[in-house]
């Protein structure tokens, strides 16, 4: 076996980024570089934690000393006021530690998500073909949350767990009796050097597996929810539910090992705390120390292990944080699959835009090695200024052909050309400004109809909005709404019907004045009469614009200029509308 193969077997290549797994040191350096603005507030939070932990031990010890003195009949003097003062000071230190810690947490959350989006934005939408939508969702929400929480709550607990107990041991050893701190010091060393790392490797591996399974479960559930129409339409409800249950069981199985080690570490720390407490009582009595002093030291030792417990919690959560950070690292370091060309979009106002798919093959990333092709050697010509219709069953490759024109991804072989110019040589922004896609399911913001319409053309006037709505046969319905153009669409267009949402998005596309209009099942929620009116309006309003429509309903292609029939990624027939008569079974 070659040296390269050996290295890859030790450090395997990640399927998302195509890069080897980064070391933990690389991950930590990457995170600290992104979150540098929160380092100073993190130090402030740590200092307040020093004060809080120190006062907690002193407060417990002083309270025990006061109680014993009271039992002995000694005068308390101002002891109660001292206790009140220490308690208030501790509370303030805790408040400011939490306040600054949460500031660090939320600021780190902002920085991490901002960095992730800044890295993903240039790679969209091609990155989606290499990561499922559910996996992206998990990385940008739960993974970032896990990183942020542990990052913000790791430094302060670990540093304070080293500084405060060490200072306590040194102070008591020199100020009271070195012998009385020997057993607590040994228990402390065990608690700091052994307990937090017991089972860490196994927990790391199990957590990595758990997060991978959670990502699969999130992706599976997301795809089921957003594809519910297809799931129900094909009668796959039981199959999807069984898949969800299977993945849930696998997640539960994988998460048991980290939970066991967390519980075991907590039990060890409690045992060490009790050993320290007992040893202080025993040695203190043997050394004939003052009873009140023994009570104070023993009570203080009960809070002595608060710091090591913080380290234990940190290490317990660190496995999930590092695993999440690795997933996010690979996502943000994934190569940019589609790169912009440097040539302008070829504009010919007289001739229009002619589009050609020339022997195009395409497979989704990860499937290319299996030989399974989504598009297989397709040849299509959408003539300038004409209406071309792609017909075929769901999953036959029609939508993929449109997405490749917009360079959601690039084909493995063949070319797509616009007026004879290969699209991979064109500037992406110009290509996507000239070619507009209207889908069956479109993105609608929780904003007014006017704001949604202006997303692609912010400067258009109200008159232009109404003109676009007229073409989309939506103007009359908007006029009847009490708020008119200021009517709120609701989250994901929840205040609109399916047909209204489709027509709103069609009007939005028209406002961008496209050279090419792609319509992917854009009338799925409309009746036959209304969709015929819209097509007639488009023909009048967009003379010279190349229109390509995807449908599985043959009757929508009867007045097309050209028809292409898809089946399993291939063009099985093409020609004028008359070709539909021989292939009615492919609708």
CA separation for the pair 194, 332 (Å, rounded): 35
Residue pair 311/157 in contact by the 8 Å Cβ criterion: yes
CA separation for the pair 484, 487 (Å, rounded): 6
Residues 6+ apart with CB under 8 A from 294: 280, 281, 284, 285
The CA radius of gyration of the chain, in Å to the nearest whole number, is 33
Query: So what's the pLDDT on residue 406?
Result: 93
Beta-bridged to residue 448, according to DSSP, are 488
Query: So what's the pLDDT on residue 5?
Result: 36
* pTM, rounded to two decimals: 0.68
Query: So what's the pLDDT on residue 134?
Result: 53
Peptide bond into 125 cis (omega under 30): yes
Nearest to 192 by CA among 152, 151, 160: 160
Q: What is the DSSP letter of 353?
A: -
Residues 6+ apart with CB under 8 A from 227: none
Nearest to 120 by CA among 134, 139, 106: 139
- Flag residues of the chain having pLDDT under 50: 1-10
Residues 6+ apart with CB under 8 A from 311: 157, 158, 161, 191, 192, 196
CA separation for the pair 257, 385 (Å, rounded): 63
Q: What is the pLDDT of residues 151-166, one digit of tens each?
A: 666 788 888 888 999 9
Q: What is the pLDDT of residues 112-122, one digit of tens each?
A: 889 988 888 88
Kindly report the CA angle at 374 between 124 and 131, in degrees rounded to 5?
A: 35
Q: What is the DSSP letter of 21?
A: P
Query: So what's the pLDDT on residue 12?
Result: 61
Kindly report the CA angle at 59 between 54 and 65, in degrees rounded to 5?
A: 130
Query: So what's the pLDDT on residue 135?
Result: 60
Query: So what's the pLDDT on residue 174?
Result: 92
Residue pair 556/387 in contact by the 8 Å Cβ criterion: no
Residue pair 544/352 in contact by the 8 Å Cβ criterion: yes
């Amino acid at each position: 076996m070659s040296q390269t193969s050996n290295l890859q077997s030790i450090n395997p290549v990640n399927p998302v980024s195509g890069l080897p797994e980064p070391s933990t040191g690389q991950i930590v350096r990457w995170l600290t570089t992104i979150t540098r603005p929160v380092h100073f507030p993190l130090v402030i939070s740590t200092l307040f934690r020093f004060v809080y932990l120190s006062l907690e031990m002193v407060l417990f010890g002083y309270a025990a000393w006061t109680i014993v003195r009271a039992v002995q009949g000694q005068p308390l003097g101002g002891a109660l006021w001292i206790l009140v003062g220490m308690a208030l000071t501790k509370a303030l230190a805790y408040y400011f530690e939490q306040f600054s810690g949460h500031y660090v947490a939320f600021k780190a959350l902002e920085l991490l998500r901002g960095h992730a989006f800044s890295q993903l934005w240039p790679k969209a939408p091609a990155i989606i073909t290499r990561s499922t939508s559910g996996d992206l969702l998990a990385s940008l929400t739960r993974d970032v949350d896990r990183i942020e929480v542990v990052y913000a709550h790791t430094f302060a607990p670990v540093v304070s767990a080293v500084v405060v107990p060490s200072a306590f041991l040194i102070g008591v050893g020199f100020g009271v009796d070195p012998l009385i701190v020997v057993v607590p010091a040994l228990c402390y060393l065990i608690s700091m050097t052994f307990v937090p790392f017991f089972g860490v490797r196994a927990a790391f591996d199990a957590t990595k597996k758990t997060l991978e399974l959670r990502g699969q479960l999130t992706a599976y559930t997301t795809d089921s929810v957003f594809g519910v129409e297809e799931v129900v339409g094909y009668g796959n409800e039981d199959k999807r539910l069984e898949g969800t249950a299977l993945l849930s069981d696998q997640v539960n199985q994988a998460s048991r090992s980290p939970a066991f080690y967390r519980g075991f570490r907590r039990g060890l720390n409690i045992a060490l705390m009790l050993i320290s407490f007992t040893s202080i009582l025993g040695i203190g009595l043997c050394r004939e120390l003052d009873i009140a002093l023994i009570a104070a030291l023993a009570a203080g030792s009960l809070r002595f292990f608060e710091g090591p417990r913080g380290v234990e919690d940190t290490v317990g959560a660190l496995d999930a944080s590092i695993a999440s950070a690795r997933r996010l690292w690979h996502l943000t370091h994934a190569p940019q699959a589609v790169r912009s060309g440097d040539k302008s979009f070829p504009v010919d106002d007289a001739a229009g835009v002619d589009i050609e798919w020339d022997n195009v093959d395409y497979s989704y990333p990860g499937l290319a090695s299996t030989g399974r092709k989504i598009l297989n050697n397709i040849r299509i010509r959408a003539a300038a200024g004409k209406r071309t219709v792609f017909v075929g069953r769901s999953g036959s490759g029609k939508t993929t052909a449109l997405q490749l024109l917009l360079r959601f991804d690039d084909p493995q072989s063949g070319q797509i050309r616009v007026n004879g110019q290969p699209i991979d040589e064109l500037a992406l922004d110009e290509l996507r400004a000239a070619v507009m896609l209207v889908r069956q399911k479109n993105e609608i913001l929780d904003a007014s109809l006017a704001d949604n319409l202006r997303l692609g053309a912010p400067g258009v006037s109200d008159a232009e909005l109404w003109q676009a709505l007229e073409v989309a046969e939506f103007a009359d319905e908007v006029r009847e709404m009490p708020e008119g153009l200021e009517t709120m669409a609701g989250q994901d267009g929840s205040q609109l019907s399916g047909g209204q949402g489709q027509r709103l998005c069609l009007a939005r596309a028209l406002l961008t004045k496209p050279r090419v209009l792609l319509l992917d099942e854009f009338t799925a929620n409309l009746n036959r009469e209304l969709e015929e009116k819209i097509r007639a309006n488009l023909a009048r309003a967009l003379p010279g614009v190349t229109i390509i429509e995807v449908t599985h309903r043959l009757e929508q292609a009867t007045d097309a200029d050209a028809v292409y029939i898809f089946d399993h990624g291939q063009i099985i027939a093409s020609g004028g509308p008359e070709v539909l008569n021989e292939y009615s079974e492919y609708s």
